[in-house]
Chains A and B, each alone.
Chain A
Amino acid sequence: MKRLLCFLALTLAAILAGCGKPDFSDAEKKTIASLALNTLPLLKPDTTNRFADVPAAAALGSTLFFDVGMSRDGAVSCSTCHKIDRQFQDDLPQAVGVGRTNRRTMPLAGVARDPWFFWDGRRDSLWAQALTPLENPLEQAGNRAAYAHYIKARFGERFERIFGPLPDFSGIPLNASPLGTDAEKAAWNAMSDAQRDAVNRVYANIGKAIAAFERSIEPAQTRFDRFALDLFTGAEPKDGAAFSREEILGLKLFIGKANCVTCHNGPRFTDNGFHNTGVPPVAGLPPDRGRIDAVAQAEADPFNCFGAYRDGDVSACGELRFMVKDAPELIRAYKTPSLRGAATRPPYMHAGQFSSLDEVVAHYAKAAPSVEGVSEIHPLQLSDRERAALVAFLKTLSE
């Protein structure tokens, strides 16, 4: 009898001792481990850019990234919108360069690991992406002939040490581009094939230098990562890594009932895919159909992986080669953003549609249908407490 009572008392003690600790199933633990930053694989080489890991190229790329000389009006650089002290974004619903754009500036941590670039993925490499804002009339608004002349005048020797001798620019107009003003287009069309190729080559190398720099922008450890590591190793959480009950509930919802992890998965919290999530368009902006309209642009880009300016062989072009081209689910599909650091950089979504994480969670719970195409999001029954818990969890990815 006494033994039995002792046993019961000890069992009770054991049960009570377990109370304060997070209690995850093995499947949950596995998912949590897959989200932790320590599972981020090393950055793969980019064979399409043979300067991707050349330090001098990255250093020049960093100079160019911050250089307002790289714009039509001499006032805008990449860093005007991608601010180094703001996670390489600008806190605006729609970016402002030479003009006001139609989309939100994307943060850049870990961007070199993506297969597609922009909210709609209309570029297939980091170096081809960099060439787009340089000529976009709303962003840096320059033209490739002007950039080539500028590079030669301002960085000539430094550029040549990395990329080899610059071509002879005599006879090349000061302003010319296939995408520019009518005058710039006419000037471009009047150039010889060899001249156009020479300018394109310098232009591609500008992109390759900037891409080499961007490869160094990586996500940082967060409180979530320390929590996940402790959970994995069984160590007592330390230095504020312990999660509150609310944060644990939020994490469980994120990987469970709320289904967030189906798209926001892996150590960057993104599947690198495109999804229609029913985010409403912004009144007054031009129509935006997302991925469906980006496919043709990616294919037509002369700087894409199939183009003449790729280094290495064509085996690197699998994403472009096997791209989905015409499925209905591409309508108003946008790239799944990483959620690392998201809590401290509102507004949210491709055109800054939501100004707080509360609004984002309310959007997912309601799952309003998309204005065009079909949203993949299904309504969620979430109590106020559960909504707050999801937000509390997202904040642990910014601490």
Chain B
Amino acid sequence: MRSVRQNVVRRRGTGLASLWRYLLAGLGLAALLVGVLAVVYLTAPQSAQPIAPDVSRTKNTDNGLFVASFAPERGVVRQGELQSWLLTLKTKAGAPVEGAAITISGGMPQHNHGLPTSPQATDYLGDGRYRIEGVKFTMSGWWQLHFAISATAGSDTVLFNVVL
């Protein structure tokens, strides 16, 4: 195939007849290629990408009791390192939720495995902010963190998606 290309380039201008012959050959080849590519593209399976999960960092909890925000304490998400994150809990009216008991679970829905660590709420920083330590993402992809929250206003749950 390479040599055909070289011929096309090199022999141009060595007489009209041969030029036409090569150009026609080139045209034929190009048409063939377009045809093959068309078949490949039309028959290729639809891309297997799942619908992108909702990665918003602020959400209403599942029963609407609280508004929860979840963000890395130092701003960036680093793969393979233990990091602390902040979970901020407010009521619908915007008042900080204090004294909440929080348990955390999660994993990778597409790989059927849980979290590589057991993150815990280790500190209350005031203003509805809880420090979640021991968060670690060991691979790129779609992770889920599930929080069960129990406070004087009641118990509720919320799920955050993190895509790396």
Identify the A interface with B (CB < 8 A): 5-6, 8-9, 11-13, 15-17, 19, 31, 34, 262-263, 265-266, 271-275, 318-319, 321-325, 327, 329, 374, 376
Contacts and interface: CB of A to CB of B under 8 A. Distances in A.
Interface stretch (B54-62, B63-71, B94-102, B112-120): B112-120
A170 B133 CA distance: 47
B125 interface: no
A318 B139 contact: no
Contacts of A9: 8, 22-23, 26-27, 30
Contacts of B4: 16
Nearest to B135: A322
Nearest to A259: B111
Contacts of B8: 9, 12-13
B80 interface: yes
Contacts of A13: 5, 8-9
B74 interface: no
List of 5 A-B pairs having minimum Cβ-Cβ separation, nearest first: A322-B134, A271-B138, A318-B82, A9-B26, A322-B117
A11 B139 contact: no
B151 interface: no
12 contacts: A5-B26, A8-B23, A9-B27, A19-B1, A262-B141, A271-B138, A275-B113, A321-B134, A322-B82, A322-B133, A324-B118, A329-B114
Nearest to B79: A266
A390 B100 CA distance: 50
B114 A327 contact: yes
A271 B118 CA distance: 16
B153 interface: no
Given A12-B33, A16-B5, A19-B1, A325 B118 contact: yes
Contacts of B79: 266
A8 B30 CA distance: 7
A265 B139 CA distance: 7
Contact of A318 (B22, B29, B133): B133
A12 B134 contact: no
A16 B116 contact: no
A262 B111 CA distance: 9
Interface in B25-76: 26-27, 29-30, 33
Given A12-B29, A262-B139, A322-B118, A5 B23 contact: yes
Contacts of B112: 374, 376
A322 B23 contact: no
Main secondary structure of the interface of B (DSSP, over half): mixed
A122 to B, nearest CB: 16
B128 to A, nearest CB: 23
Given A8-B23, A9-B23, A329-B114, 5 more contacts: A12-B5, A13-B8, A266-B80, A272-B80, A275-B113
A11 B30 contact: yes
Nearest to B119: A322
B30 A12 contact: yes
- Residue in B2, B115, B139 whose Cβ sees the most chain A Cβ within 10 Å: B139
Contacts of A5: 23, 26-27
B151 to A, nearest CB: 23
A265 B111 CA distance: 15
A116 to B, nearest CB: 10
A13 B33 CA distance: 12
A224 to B, nearest CB: 19
Nearest to B140: A265
Contacts of B119: 322
A12 B33 CA distance: 9
Contact of B1 (A16, A265, A266, A271): A16
- Residue in A263, A273, A374 whose Cβ sees the most chain B Cβ within 10 Å: A273
A373 to B, nearest CB: 12
B138 A272 contact: yes
A271 B23 contact: no
Contacts of A262: 111, 139, 141
B133 A273 contact: no
Contacts of B27: 5, 8-9
B110 to A, nearest CB: 9
B93 to A, nearest CB: 34
Contacts of A376: 111-113
Contacts of A265: 138-140
Given A272-B80, A318-B134, A263 B139 contact: yes
Nearest to A257: B48
Contacts of A8: 23, 26-27, 30
A98 B17 CA distance: 85
B26 A273 contact: no
Nearest to A326: B118
Contacts of B9: 13
A16 B8 CA distance: 12
Contacts of A324: 114-118
Contacts of A374: 112
Contacts of B139: 262-263, 265, 271
B41 to A, nearest CB: 14
Contacts of B23: 5-6, 8-9
A8 B23 CA distance: 9
